[in-house]
Amino acid sequence: MDKLLIRGGNRLSGTIPISGAKNAALTLIPCALLTDEPLTLRNLPRLADIDGFQHLMTQFGVSHTIQGQRPEDFGRVVTLEATRLTSTVAPYDLVRKMRASILVLGPMLARMGEATVSLPGGCAIGNRPIDLHLKVLEAFGAQIELAQGYVKAMAPDGGLPGGDFDFPVVSVGATENALMAAVLANGTSRLINAAREPEIVDLCNLLVAMGAEIEGIGQSELTIHGVKRLHGATYRVMPDRIEAGSYACAAAITGGEVLLEGAKAEDMGSTLHALRNIGVESEEVKGGIRVAANGRLRAHNLTTAPYPGLATDMQAQLMSLLCKAEGTSVLTETIFENRFMHVPELSRMGADIETTGRTAIVRGTETLNGAEVMATDLRASMSLIIAALAAKGETTVRRIYHLDRGYERLEEKLQLVGADIERVGDE
């Protein structure tokens, strides 16, 4: 199993290309199930989760053609064709490692009238039930059964009639599944208290490009007028705002300055606001966002929240940054109940962090030290990388397969801006 060796102390400087967004791509890929025409996605990141999802699509009879195979390329162009679906079952072996697999439920139900999907897996960052996915599909007219670890959904003869659903809490995944189910429904559907994340907007924009009729894009109330069929399209995946924010933290903790090439400030408002309060400069420039840190970082209190609040996917990375800030910071995690698993590993590097329930108190220190640490989930992995870049000595990060799920060729990008980092195999 591979590990990363990082020798800290180098100031990061230069340009980091930002890849297509993992969280958007995993929502756009199942849109291919909604049409018998080709769907071409540009700027698709090379990630383990993307490969896993494409493998799942193959299970349904979806073919894919890949361009951009050169080793030096970031991202790919992939054409998916679901001319004839041969299965409506997403089996446990393909679903268990990736929670996003549940996103085939809505489009498969909409097009084929039925879908059987194993209950999903993914990062162990807390309880992430799919009850809202099922309730909104029931509101659209589906019959749902749970048996032996599988969800079986059936539409009435003639297809889903559509309907209204008011989310009791904001759910990104359930909003995405609902959108993909509603676009082919027989009537008009309305989603109230829908998620507003940029990835939701990206999904809506692709569906509209395929012929869907959606009102209220970017707002908390969406109205979807069902259409008879969707057609193919060519679409570019949005830049990854979490990847961009992660590299901004990496540059800042080293007192560096980088251009996040391709990043969009309009998608990163809460992250950039937090960075500015911590003492990190950011400026939208032609081609991306420039971030720079000079002098000691400042403590700052942060609370995660649904968009446009601070993304839970940025909490761990910002915590690492605050480990080097002057003063005491309080971080409150409101989305997931078990997302401080990186704290013991940061403590091994000399961080002073105390956790109580969903709150972490971070007392900044001038020095972090290299150590052997173990990644526990995707974003926790990145928090360890960030801390290691500023630590004295060498840090070994193990179980980096988590990183390969969400960061395209991470060590190569960090090497571009001066980091002393290498991937090696275990002896």
- At 122 the pLDDT is 44
Question: Cβ(86)–Cβ(57) under 8 Å?
Answer: no
Beta strands at 359-363 and 352-356: parallel, antiparallel or unpaired? antiparallel
Q: Is the pLDDT of residue 123 over 50?
A: no
Query: ω into residue 239 within 30 of 0, thus cis?
Result: no
User: Is 123 annotated as catalytic?
Assistant: yes
97 is in an annotated binding site: no
Q: How confident is the model at residue 68 (pLDDT cuts 50, 70, 90)?
A: low
Cα 289 versus chain centre, distance: 20
Weakest mean pLDDT among 11-25, 71-85, 394-408:
71-85
- At 126 the pLDDT is 41
- The CATH class that applies to domain 2-16+240-425 reads alpha beta
Residue ranges of domains in the chain:
2-16+240-425, 24-236
Q: From CA 366, how far away is CA 47, in angstroms rounded?
A: 35
Question: Cβ(264)–Cβ(245) under 8 Å?
Answer: no
User: What integer is the mean pLDDT of 396-418?
Assistant: 95
Those residues whose C-beta lies under 8 Å from the C-beta of residue 147, and which sit 6 or more positions away, are none
335 is in an annotated binding site: yes
Q: 269: exposed, middle or buried (C-beta count within 10 Å: 0-12, 13-18, 19+)? A: middle
CA of 20: how far to CAs of 29, 265, 282, in Å? 13, 15, 21
User: What integer is the mean pLDDT of 194-203?
Assistant: 98
- Please pick, among 123, 204, 249, 323, the residue that the annotation labels catalytic: 123
pLDDT (tens digit, 9 = 90+) per residue, 351-381?
999 999 999 999 999 999 999 999 988 899 9
Weakest mean pLDDT among 26-30, 291-295, 347-351:
291-295
pLDDT (tens digit, 9 = 90+) per residue, 147-172?
888 999 999 999 999 999 999 999 99
Q: Is the pLDDT of residue 40 over 90?
A: yes
pLDDT (tens digit, 9 = 90+) per residue, 255-297?
999 999 999 999 999 999 999 999 999 999 999 999 999 888 9
132 is in an annotated binding site: yes
Bigger pLDDT: 181 vs 118: 181
Q: What are phi and psi of 354, to 5 degrees?
A: -125, 130
Give the containing element (helix H, strand E) for 234: strand 233-236
Bridge partners, 6 (sequence order): 395, 421
76 is in an annotated binding site: no
- At 72 the pLDDT is 63
Percent pLDDT > 90 in the chain is 86
- At 148 the pLDDT is 87
Query: How many Cβ atoms sit within 10 Å of the Cβ of residue 294?
Result: 11
Radius of gyration (C-alpha) of the chain in whole angstroms: 22
313 is in an annotated binding site: yes
93 is in an annotated binding site: no
49 is in an annotated binding site: no
Those residues whose C-beta lies under 8 Å from the C-beta of residue 13, and which sit 6 or more positions away, are 256, 257, 258, 417, 418
Q: How confident is the model at residue 127 (pLDDT cuts 50, 70, 90)?
A: very low
Spell 335-348 as b/e; 16+ CB within 10 A means b. Answer: bbeebbbbbebbbb
CATH architecture of 24-236: Alpha-beta prism (3.65)
Instruction: Please give the mean pLDDT across all residues of the chain.
Output: 94
Q: Does 24-236 match 2-16+240-425 at the fold level?
A: yes
129 is in an annotated binding site: yes
Using DSSP's 3-state secondary structure scheme, residue 150 falls into strand
Cα 212 versus chain centre, distance: 24
- Six-digit token pair at 349? 């590097």
